[in-house]
Every structure is written in C-alpha cells, then in structure tokens.
Structure 1
Amino acid sequence: MNRYPLWKNLLIVGVILVSLVLAWPNLYSQDPSIELTGARGVTVTDASRAEIQAVLETAGVPLKNIALRDGDKLLARFANASEQLRGQEAIEQALSTRYRTALTLAADVPRWMTAIGLKPMNLGLDLRGGIHVVIDVDLEAALEQALERNLADMRTQLRDKKIRYLTLAREGEQVVATFNDAETRDAGVKVLTRNAPDLVVMTSASGERFLAQLSLSPTEQRQIKNFALEQNITTLRNRVNALGIAEPSIARQGERRIVVQLPGAQDPGRLKEILGATATLEYRLVDTEGSVAAAVEGKVPVGSKLYYERDGRPILLKRRVIVTGDQITDAAAGFDNQSGTPTVFVNLDGQGARRMRDMTSENVGKPMAVVFIENRTTTSMVDGKPVKTTRKVEEVISVATIREPFGARFQTTGLDSSAEAHNTALLLRSGALAAPIQIVEERTIGPSLGQDNIDQGLFSVLIGLGLVVVFMGVYYRVFGMIANAVLLLNLVMIIAVLGALGATLTMPGIAGMVLTIGMAVDANVLIFERIREEIRIGNSPQASIAAGYEKALSSIIDANVTTLIAALMLFSFGTGPVKGFAVTLTIGLITSMFTAISCSRAAINALYGGKRLKTLPV
C-alpha cells in the first residue's frame, strides 16, 4: 500500500532534475560589462578586441574578460561598476569615432550552459537597473503629415479630372483651394470629397476668387492621433527588439506619451540614438530637365530639390516622393547577384506597390534615385568630455535607369557595407515613426540600487521560508521536514519556469514568491491534518496516509483554483507591476500543486510505503 509505480517515480525524478538544471544558471553572478559595436563602416573583429585591450591597459583599467558576441559585437567584462565606468570613459576618449559603447550586465555562466541555451531569468528595471524614459509624441505633426499626404492626392485628383484651380495649399490645419468661379469650385469639392468622405468642407468667396476650405473631421483627427501613437509604440518595440535590446517594456501612458523601460541598459545616449533612429529610404525621380549648376547656386527649379550623392556630387531630384519608408512591409539584407555589392531587398504594401508600378510604367528609360535618410550621431570631445550630437543626413545612395515597370518587390544597392545593409534592413523592417518624438523624462537607475532591491527581496524570501521551515519541522516532525523539502523544490521550480519562459522578475514578482511560499505549505497542512484525523478515529497508519491525500485533494484544488482565478484577473486588468505579481503567483500555484501532492506523496511512499507501522511521526 502507498506505493507509486516505477514510471511515476521516474517522471517525478525527471521533472526535479530538469528544474534543477534550468535553475542552475541563477546561481552565477552578473558582471558589469560594456557592449561594443562598430560605428558606421567599422566591422568588429579579433583585431578590435586587441585594440580595446590595448586602450584599457594604457588607461590602467583592469579587464576581467573580453570576447566576441553574436559575431559583430564585443563584450568586455569588469570586476565592478567603478571599473566599468572607467573603461567606458577610456574607450570613448580614444575610440569614439570607431566604436559605440553601451553599459550592461552580463551573466557569468559557463560556456557549456550558454551553448545549450541555459540562461538566468531576466531581472526587471527595479532589480537590474537600467533606463526609464518618457517620450512625448507630436500628434499635431501627425495631423500635418496626414494633410500633406491628402494635399498631394488632391492635386492628382483634380489634375486627372481636368479641373482647373488657382491655388491649392495647406494653411494651418486646413487645405485651402481657390477657383475662378463657383461652378468649378463645386465640381472640385465633389471630386475631392468622393474619395475622402470624412473631410469637412466650408465654401466662401473673396472678390473674384471662390474658396473651398477642407479640414479633417474630429473623428478622423482622433483616429489619426491614436494610430500615430500606436504605430510609434509598435515601431519603437520592433526597433529595440531588432537592435538586440533585451527585455524591453514599451507601453502607452495617457493620450500622447510612451514609457520605455530597458532593464540592464546604462547608457542614455545609446538609448536616444536607438529610439530616435529614422533610417529610411525615399524613391524619387531624377529631374533631368533642370540645371544642377544653377541649383547649386541657389536657383532650384519649382518642384525639385537639390541633393548630394555619397561622393559629394550634386543631383537634382523631383520633390514628389514615389514611395517612403512607411510603405515598406519587409526588408532583408543580401548581395547583388551580378555585382556582389551589399543590397537591401524591399517589399512594399499594396498602395506603395501600385504607386511604384504606375510611376515606373510612365517613366521607362528615365533615371530614379534612392535617398537614404538617417539621424546620425557623432561624438566629439568638449572640455575633455565626450559630447554626442545628432544631425539629419540625406544622401543619394543609388541612381538607376528604369528598364521596365516593377512593383511590390525590388532591390536597392549603393550601401557602403554589409553591416550598413543589415542595419538599414532592420530599421526598415521595424517601420518608420508615424510622428516625431521627444524625450521629456529620462532616469538612469544604477546597478547598485538594483542590487539593494535584490538583496532585500532575497532576505524577505529567506526570512519567510525560514519561519515556515521551523514551524513545519517542529509541529509535524518528519512529515514537516518532507513538506520543507518540497517547499524548497517548489521555489526552485518557480525560478526554473521563469527562466525557461524568458519572463522578467521584478519586486512584485518577489512578493508573489513570498506569498507562494506561505500558500504552498497550506496543501501539506491540509493533508497532514487529515492524516491526524484518520489516526484519531482508529485507522491504520497506511490507511490514514492514503485517506489523507485522497480526502484533502478536493479542498486543495478548490483553494488553488479560486486563487488562480484571482491571479488571472490581476494579469488581465492590471498594469506592469501587477502583471509581474500575477505571473509569479500563477506559476507558484501550478508548481505547488505538483510538489505538495505528487512530490511529497512520493517521498512519504519511499519512507513508509509497504511497511508495517504502529505510529506515524506527524
């Protein structure tokens, strides 16, 4: 009696071993580190590692380790945060034009663990330190951009219907069109509102001119603002993920703000560079009729704009943009089959594909240019300190003759290196910002604060665990020690599951762990009290053990299910910290059901199952 079959014992042992292995990486510390990536046109290699080591040795900064990471990054490890900061200062002063630095924390786990995918669980901003940024989205600019797009389409619609207008321009939050007579004005308004029913139209007359004032309806304005905010959140999240920033938290705050939290990141300048990056492409026709020499002297033809190629040669392009970065649905880096040069393969959405197909069909044999637009950050030394400045760069990277019409998929060449092609593809794939952004609040939380939180949280867990262990051992004796063992196992399993799922542990998560410790032992208390009752009414020890587990099971399930419902509601309707608490609590409930029922029963079966007993140490 009270014996598990062999397969069940093997299953329990297997789960315990897997949990121990998954939780193992969390025993290792995290080193203050510097992540180095190459600046534009610089590739990180083994020679770069030697170069960085030489700079740190010259500056007298001890280095724990430096190694290539992910093929194109260097990770330099230091013994403490002070040496980390000194190392960054030395690298910035000597090699700021060649390498970009970012402060981070890197787990000091053995290579064999990382080779098989084992890693410690992620720590949140309140534990690991990092950067907290509040971004304001310029929603008024989003409305202006929408009006500008409408303005270009309006000109095309009136031109296609051969309706003559005197002027058509944006004035504030309105588009104002003037006509020679009321009949032409009414015909023009009818054409414009047919394809845009949400436009609000007001007509008037001024002398011999007849005006039509067109503006977006309040409902349309709200939709545009909401879309711009949500699109910016998506773009920032994709951009941060694509550039390798770990465990980001990007969420909406109020009507026009976005909160970005990056645990482990310690370089606000690097964060601004990532969030403000606007690398995108524009495709424009080359103005072959205008004079480039006259444009350089300041006489730019109407409808054209002066640009420069990467070698410094001026070129005149049409102002009308064929396709922009926000119409790119996918982008991938590669190499051109014929020339072998770095290339970005571009896919357009339906509207962009139609415009590209129409434009290339009408202009076969004419040149088309690709304009690369980027916010480029440079670092210069001012009074002995590195100062970063950002400027917008617009370069013509490619000019090619349109040989035949094309639409949704094509390739763009002219990039300097495969690294630039890769970065451009990443930014294009993550999308363009729908509205300009401005950082209005910025806080950097140091690792020391995070370590204090970790120490306090760990202390609270140990105090709670210790008190429970003492009480169970004194009150339930051997059975209580078995409950203590499965309680420790439950804590190990929670950590293992958090690490395996890639979840992020925060202070509320630690609170969930402490609560789980108290709740996990409840199941064993119910079982042990039921066993005591069975012994008091005269049942044998073996029968009491079996009855205790069987009769307490329904109460344990009811208690855990009701708590699980509450945890799911917290996760569904709570904010970030509340969600972290709910996730940890949910995992703890599930693992405690397994450890308190199956694991404790297996241990008791191993000690007392199948034996003739007169008493039980409970």
Structure 2
Amino acid sequence: MSKRFRFIVVLLVIALCFVFLHPTLKWYFWTNQEDKALALASREKIKDYSENMARADVDKLIEMAASNSTEPLSEKYAPIIKEAKNRRKALGMEIPYQWTAQDVAASFKLSSKEKFIPIAQSILETAYRDSILGIKNYQTNAVKLGLDLSGGMLVIIKADLDAAISADGASSDTIADSKKAAMTLAMDTLRSRIDKFGLTDPVIRRQGDDRIYIEMPGAADADKINSIIMGRGILAFHIVDDEATQAFREYYRNNPGKTFDADYNLLNPEIIPEDCMVLGVYHKDAYGIDERDDREPFLVVKKQAGLEGKHLVSVDTSTDQRSNNPLVNFSLDAEGAKIFAELTTNNVGKRLAIVSDNKIKSAPNLKEPITGGSGSISGMSATEANNLKTVLRTAWLNVPLQLETQQVVGASLGDEKINEGIKALQWGLIAVLVFMLVFYKEAGINACIAQILNLYIMFSILSAFNLTLTLPSIAGMILTIGMAVDANVVVFERIKEELRLGKTREASINAGFEHAFSAIMDSNITTFIAAFFLSILGTGPIKGFAYSLAIGVVSSVFTALFVSRLIFDFGTQTLKLEKIHISWRKL
C-alpha cells in the first residue's frame, strides 16, 4: 500500500469525521447560550419568538422610513433587502449600494403600509424561524448527553400486548405480527404525545419484547408528563352541521370580539343548536404545530360522536391509481364497521369531522355509504395525508400501558458528573501522552498524534450514529485510550528489537509493523467481540460502555496501524530521516 494512498485515505477519514462531528461542534461550541435556549424551547415558543421579533423589526423599519432616515439597514434586514433587490432587478430599477428603509419601501412599490407590513413580517418571520429550527437541527444531530450527565426523567413502560391482541381478536397465526404492530403503534403514539411538550429529543426505544424505554432530558413536571403518556387519548368522528356552521359564520363575522371568551368557550351558547358544539379546524404550520385554519377556522359539529377512535384497526397512506392523488386508508373492527355503515348511510353529502383532543384535523365529505368496514379519505396533499395518518394512528391507543420505573435526575448532579468525567478523560490523556513522549521520544510524538486522532474519530462516530454520551461511555473512552497506547507500545517494542539487530530505520519500521500486526489484531478482535455481546445482551449503562468500547477498538486499530505507519513513512521517505529515536535510553 503506497504512502500516497494511505495519505488520501487518512484525509478522507478526517474530512468525513468532520462532517459527522460538525453538528456537535456547532451546537456545543459555536452556538451561544441565548440561541441554545431558543432552540431547546417548544415549537410554540419558537413561533411566538419569531412572530414578535419580526413584528418589532417591521415596526422599526416603518418608523425609519417615515422619518426619512438615511441610516443603512442592519444585517437583520438582509432577507427583506434580498427580496427588495429581486424586485428592483425585475423592474429594471437601480440597486443601491447601501440600503435604507426608504429604498426598501420604494422597491415594493406599495403606497399602503398595511399591505407592506404583512409581506415584510412574513419574510422576517421565516428568516427567524429557519435560523432557530436550523440550530435545533444541529442539536438533533449532535452527540446527546445521557440523563446521568444532563438531568431529566427516565421512564420504563410495560405494554400489555396480550390484552391488546385479545381486544383486536387476532388469530393464532397472526399473533406475532399483531404484537409487533401493537408495539410499534405504542411507541409511535408515545413519541407523538411526548413531542407536545417540546422536549429536547426524547429517547424512545424498545426494551425486550413488551417494554418501552423513555429518556426525557430536562423534563421537570413528572406528574403532568405521566398523565399524558399513560392516557388513552381522544379520537372521534362527528357529523358537521353545515346549516348551523353557516349561521355561526355570519354571527362570528359580525361579532368577532363577542363570540368567545379567552378559552374559546361560546359567550352565547344559544347561537348554535343545543345538540351541537363549535370546534376549531387545525392544520400543521411551518413550525410543525397545530394552527387554526384561516379559510375555515371553525365548524359546528354534533356533540354526540358518530364513531369513537377505539374502533380503528389500521391506517395507512396510498396513491389513487386514476388521479395520482394521496389517499388515507383506514379499516374498522366488526362493531365499528356496523356503526360506521349506519352513520355514513344516514349522512351522505355531509362532512365528517375527524376530532382529536377537541381539534378538528380534517373534515372530508361523505360521498357515499361506507359499508365494508374500510374506506379512504382523499382531497389533500401528501403532507396533509401523512399528518392525518399520524393523527388517526396515534390519537387513540388501544394498548394498555403500565408504568414500571420512573427516575428523576437533577441537572446539577449531571453538571458535576460531566466535569468529573471530562477531568478524568483529560488527565488520563495527558498522562498517557507525557509517558509516551518521555519513554519513546520522537516515536512518542507519533503516538500522541494517533491518540488525538483516535478521540476525534470516536466522537465523530458517536455523532454520526446519534449515540448518547453517558458516564459509562466516558469510561469506555478512557479504557480505549489505554488500549490504543498498548497497540503503539507493541509496534514500538518490535521496532526496537529490529534496530538492535542492526537494521536500518525503514527496514526496522517495516518489520516492526509486520510482526506486531497479528498480536494487535488478535487482542482488539477479542475485545470487539466482548463489546459486541455486551451491546446485545446488556441494557442501559452497559450498552453505552459497550458502544464506546467497540468504536474505540475500531478507531484505535486504524490510528495505530494506518496513521502511525503513515507518519513513520513520511519521516523516512519524504524527510529522508535515517535514524529513529524510539527509546529514552540508548539501544
């Protein structure tokens, strides 16, 4: 293997590792605390912040334009300046060297500020939103800190799969598949519910056959979170009263401030029929949160649910073969099929509101009776179809859950352990590097470079696979440092033996690596096998230790046999060195 090829491989590995590690570096070292706090907030808070900042910036812009200010606009107005520049180019207008508020206003060719304000606010809000969500994305892809380091809540939930299968009436031939589907549904449902809290990347994974392991960093309100996790959810289908809806719209149009109280309860319940209620119509906005529909904000629906979500058996999406439009397909159990057949037969031509947590998520038209126990919902985009599928699948959970374990770890304890772990890692690395420099002289520099690169690769792989950094993980890294040095020591001692035989630098290096290869590979392969089985059979902290140990074994072999050899060859072939200083005493 040529030196050039090894050099190219090392450069490619370093570059690839930087790509993997970039989100971690960006989040922990290149993002200030204020931006971190915003990115860690719920999407509702991010939306409020973006709207308020955009509104304040536009007010300032209008004020500057009204006062004929010649002050150049700051960098925060760059998105509006970009749009104004595009408009000037399209109109063939001159582009200013420095932009002022008057230049921007003139670029939009709008005489009314009422028209300019919503456009400017939308542009700036989008910029703020994209910036914060971009930082949030870095956090998502960065190395995570476990609960023992960051604090938070650990929950282990047992899913009663037998009860769920019994309720669904699955046959003996399909029990295994039904249990797998029930477990997947339970995890998806819990993930959907936990996301409502805006928590920072909760860890949700399957543990064993029927348990769900959940880590929620920073979670404080344990009782509230448990009530949501353990709840069964609310999903129902209600018939829309179109006549009452039309009457309500007229009333709301004429009395917008006198229709609801602060909690959106009707101030005058008599404006709708006694057997009806008013619910808001919602869709997912650019932040991924529910937003009331501007075109049709409210619908009047029957109070009595026509069908409860517990009768849903399966939900999936497909594409209409004729129109190529997205479809949401659903099927019901036997009881639900009878209820739905009667409901749709008696209400053909009306709309059926799909209600989750007192929010209307969709209201498709009933074109014909649905009597076969299954049906399809059309007339929406692919994104809307996926959102509706998620609602139908996760709003009602027919799998009984039982809380088995709950632990709360304080953040202050986590900070203390982080500092202790980092200090242990630092002092361990420093001690090893000093020993190698003192004991192996020039070759010790080689080992130091390999060790630093070894840690760099380890953290990069942790980031690439979104693994969680815990105290056992740090222990595995510290152990890896010693093991990586062991590989260098084996190579260096073999080289010294060859030098004692009177061989040249190049011959000693070649023979040293050749003779040490099998010993290094044997020891590291056995360690990797042990780490592999620990990762499979172990749980929690043991898995973290096993993962970091396995990653460390791979990276230390690469740095000891590949990178270290490249550095030696560089000195021999490029720098034309004839001697090698590899011992603190004379050979």
TM-score (norm 2): 0.61
Q: How many angstroms apart in 2 are the aligned matches of 1:595 and 1:197? A: 54
1:55-204 equivalences in 2 (<5 Å): 120-135=142-157, 142=163, 146=166
Give the match for residue 528 of structure 1.
492
Are 1:410 and 2:416 matched, yes or no?
A: no
| CA deviation profile, 1:376-412 (whole Å, cap 9, x unmatched) | xxxxxxxxxxxxxxxxx59898585543658542149
Using the TM superposition, give the Cα deviation of residue 604 of structure 1 relative to its aligned residue in structure 2, in angstroms. Answer: 1.4
Give the match for residue 8 of structure 1.
6
Give the match for residue 330 of structure 2.
348
| CA contact 1:331–1:428 (8 Å) conserved in 2 | no
Aligned residue type for 1:515: L
Aligned residue type for 1:33: A
Aligned residue type for 2:330: L
Q: How many angstroms apart in 2 are the aligned matches of 1:286 and 1:114? A: 39
Q: How many angstroms apart in 2 are the aligned matches of 1:129 and 1:473? A: 39
**350 and 599 in structure 1: CA distance in 2 versus 1, 3 angstrom threshold:** farther
Q: How many angstroms apart in 2 are the aligned matches of 1:286 and 1:314? A: 4
SS at structure 2 position matched to 1:33: helix
Using the TM superposition, give the Cα deviation of residue 550 of structure 1 relative to its aligned residue in structure 2, in angstroms. Answer: 1.2
**397 and 565 in structure 1: CA distance in 2 versus 1, 3 angstrom threshold:** closer
Return the match for 1:282 from 224, 230, 236.
236
Give the match for residue 547 of structure 2.
583
Give the match for residue 99 of structure 1.
none
Using the TM superposition, give the Cα deviation of residue 16 of structure 1 relative to its aligned residue in structure 2, in angstroms. Answer: 2.6
Aligned residue type for 1:457: G
Q: How many angstroms apart in 2 are the aligned matches of 1:482 and 1:458? A: 24
Give the match for residue 582 of structure 2.
617
Unaligned regions of 5+ residues in structure 2, if any?
A: 58-75, 77-130, 242-274, 280-297
Give the match for residue 428 of structure 1.
392
**537 and 313 in structure 1: CA distance in 2 versus 1, 3 angstrom threshold:** closer
Q: How many angstroms apart in 2 are the aligned matches of 1:224 and 1:369? A: 32
Q: How many angstroms apart in 2 are the aligned matches of 1:575 and 1:320? A: 42
**347 and 396 in structure 1: CA distance in 2 versus 1, 3 angstrom threshold:** closer
SS at structure 2 position matched to 1:538: coil
Q: How many angstroms apart in 2 are the aligned matches of 1:118 and 1:241? A: 13
**588 and 223 in structure 1: CA distance in 2 versus 1, 3 angstrom threshold:** closer
Using the TM superposition, give the Cα deviation of residue 118 of structure 1 relative to its aligned residue in structure 2, in angstroms. Answer: 10
Are 1:538 and 2:525 matched, yes or no?
A: no
**360 and 259 in structure 1: CA distance in 2 versus 1, 3 angstrom threshold:** same
Using the TM superposition, give the Cα deviation of residue 599 of structure 1 relative to its aligned residue in structure 2, in angstroms. Answer: 1.0
Give the match for residue 260 of structure 1.
214
Aligned residue type for 2:44: G
Using the TM superposition, give the Cα deviation of residue 235 of structure 1 relative to its aligned residue in structure 2, in angstroms. Answer: 3.0
Using the TM superposition, give the Cα deviation of residue 48 of structure 1 relative to its aligned residue in structure 2, in angstroms. Answer: 3.5
Tell me the C-alpha RMSD between the 2 structures: 5.2
Which structure shows the higher helix fraction? 2
Q: How many angstroms apart in 2 are the aligned matches of 1:38 and 1:282? A: 25
Using the TM superposition, give the Cα deviation of residue 552 of structure 1 relative to its aligned residue in structure 2, in angstroms. Answer: 0.9
Which structure shows the higher strand fraction? 1
SS at structure 2 position matched to 1:433: coil
Q: How many angstroms apart in 1 are the aligned matches of 2:412 and 2:232? A: 34
**223 and 307 in structure 1: CA distance in 2 versus 1, 3 angstrom threshold:** farther
Using the TM superposition, give the Cα deviation of residue 21 of structure 1 relative to its aligned residue in structure 2, in angstroms. Answer: 5.8
Q: How many angstroms apart in 2 are the aligned matches of 1:461 and 1:13? A: 26
Q: How many angstroms apart in 1 are the aligned matches of 2:557 and 2:564? A: 10
The percentage of aligned residue pairs carrying the same residue is 30
Aligned residue type for 1:16: I
| CA contact 1:279–1:428 (8 Å) conserved in 2 | no
Q: How many angstroms apart in 2 are the aligned matches of 1:612 and 1:133? A: 60
Give the match for residue 514 of structure 2.
550
| CA contact 1:286–1:316 (8 Å) conserved in 2 | no
Aligned residue type for 2:151: G
Q: How many angstroms apart in 2 are the aligned matches of 1:126 and 1:498? A: 17
Aligned residue type for 2:147: L
Q: How many angstroms apart in 2 are the aligned matches of 1:395 and 1:613? A: 80
**327 and 242 in structure 1: CA distance in 2 versus 1, 3 angstrom threshold:** farther
| CA contact 1:129–1:449 (8 Å) conserved in 2 | yes
| CA contact 1:126–1:453 (8 Å) conserved in 2 | yes
Using the TM superposition, give the Cα deviation of residue 249 of structure 1 relative to its aligned residue in structure 2, in angstroms. Answer: 3.1
SS at structure 2 position matched to 1:435: coil
Using the TM superposition, give the Cα deviation of residue 521 of structure 1 relative to its aligned residue in structure 2, in angstroms. Answer: 1.1
Aligned residue type for 1:120: A
Aligned residue type for 2:43: T
SS at structure 2 position matched to 1:14: helix
| CA contact 1:328–1:349 (8 Å) conserved in 2 | yes
Return the match for 1:46 from 44, 50, 61.
50
Return the match for 1:566 from 524, 530, 551.
530
Aligned residue type for 2:467: A
Report how many aligned residue pairs link the two structures.
445
Give the match for residue 79 of structure 1.
none
1:263-412 equivalences in 2 (<5 Å): 263-266=217-220, 268=222, 271-272=225-226, 275=229, 281-283=235-237, 308-310=277-279, 315=302, 324-330=311-317, 346-349=328-331, 355=337, 359=341, 363=345, 366=348, 370=352, 372-375=354-357, 393=358, 398=363, 400-403=365-368, 407-411=374-378
1:486-525 equivalences in 2 (<5 Å): 486-525=450-489
Q: How many angstroms apart in 1 are the aligned matches of 2:573 and 2:482? A: 28
